[in-house]
Amino acid sequence: MRTVYVNGEYLPEDQARVSIFDRGFLMADGVYEVTSVLGGKLIDFAGHSRRLARSLGELDMANPVTMDALLEIHRQLVTLNEIDEGLVYLQITRGAPGDRDFVFPDPASTPSTIVLFTQAKPGLAGDTAAKKGIKVISIEDIRWGRRDIKTVQLLYPSMGKMMAKKAGADDAWLTEDGFITEGTSNNAYIVKDGKIITRALSTDILHGITRAAVLRFAKEAQMEVIERSFTIDEAKTADEAFITSASSFVMPVVEIDGMPLGDGKAGPLALRLREIYLDESRKMAV
Ligand code: PMP
């Protein structure tokens, strides 16, 4: 049985408890992070903890742990649960005041709730899925306007994945005024004439930790990166496409709305970037 972390305690998963009055449960008033684990080490922990601090700050939510303590909890769970490849999920909510109320509770009397657990994913970095690539459909982006804050309001992304599944695809790309914002749980990219094109950072998208690393590695490898919006029509005529996220790293996209991209195979630039990302990230893992 897994050991999980809840508000200062390491417990077997079936003994972990959170109040029914928790604002994460009642109002999706919480933020989260997912950090991948390769070779028993955390990938880009510093990036994830910085983004967590920013998400908390944007929502005026108290941070219940120091970043050093957070690293220690991540490491403990990876060790206790013997995770070689997988991920650590972290969630912090505005806690459990006695009653349901739209007004934020006083943080002095209502401490934040913090929960962490691991998910083992043997073969996460293997290249079988990556060589095949994924198929995406496009759907309207009807999420709220602060997508740069990593909140646990994931109902629409979850619905998007279900729409994709129903259409025989793997995931959905979200469009706003014809332009792609991002994937349901990843950032979106196209490649045209060797240039990597991805939407610029704003409140419209999540500032992916993997995105930041991949763009840095791409530039170091002398690849040209253009941060601008692109339409779904432009994407369909691209040479390649791919997504990035902490749990998929760099994953080629081979089909959009039923139309194969190029020769319908995983793109060489995406596969090369995946290799570079995995190599470099493993070197810097903690
Ligand atoms: N966009 C959205 C909407 C996401 O949910 C995620 C992953 N949580 C990402 C992008 C990718 O972010 P990261 O690379 O930090 O995992």
How far apart CA 128 and CA 89 sit, in angstroms, is 24
Q: Does residue 185 have its Cβ closer than 6 Å to ligand 1? A: yes
Q: Which of 41, 131, 135, 150 is catalytic?
A: 150
Q: Output the CA 50–ligand 1 centroid distance in Å.
A: 14
CATH of 129-284, one of 3.40.309.10, 3.20.10.10, 3.30.530.20, 3.30.470.10: 3.20.10.10
Contact 138, 175 (CB under 8 A): yes
List residues bridging with 87 in a β-sheet.
Answer: 36, 119
CA 149 to CA 261: how far, in whole Å?
32
Give residue limits of the domains in the chain.
3-120, 129-284
- β-bridge mates for residue 38, sequence order: 41
Residue 182 near residue 191 (C-beta atoms within 8 A): no
Between the CA of 183 and the centroid of ligand 1 the distance, in Å, is 8
Atom of ligand 1 nearest to the CA of 244: 14
Please report, as a single letter, which amino acid is at residue 35.
T
Is 244 a pocket residue for ligand 1 (Cβ < 6 Å)? yes
Strands (DSSP E) contained in 153-237 are 171-176, 179-183, 187-192, 195-198, 224-227
Across the chain, which distance is largest between two alpha carbons, in Å? Answer: 60
Domains 3-120 and 129-284 belong to one CATH topology: no
Each of the 286 residues of the chain gets a pLDDT tens digit; together they read 999 999 999 999 999 999 999 999 999 999 999 999 999 999 999 999 999 999 999 999 989 999 999 999 999 999 999 999 999 999 999 999 999 999 999 999 999 999 999 999 999 999 788 999 999 999 999 999 999 999 999 999 999 999 999 999 999 999 999 999 999 999 999 999 999 999 999 999 999 999 999 999 999 999 999 999 999 999 999 999 999 999 999 999 999 999 999 899 999 999 999 999 999 999 999 9
CA of 186 to the centre of ligand 1 (A): 4
Distance, in Å, from the CA atom of 76 to the CA atom of 93, rounded to the nearest integer, reads 21
- Which helix (H) or strand (E) is 284 found in, with range? helix 268-284
Note the CATH number of domain 3-120. 3.30.470.10
* Known active-site residue 166: no
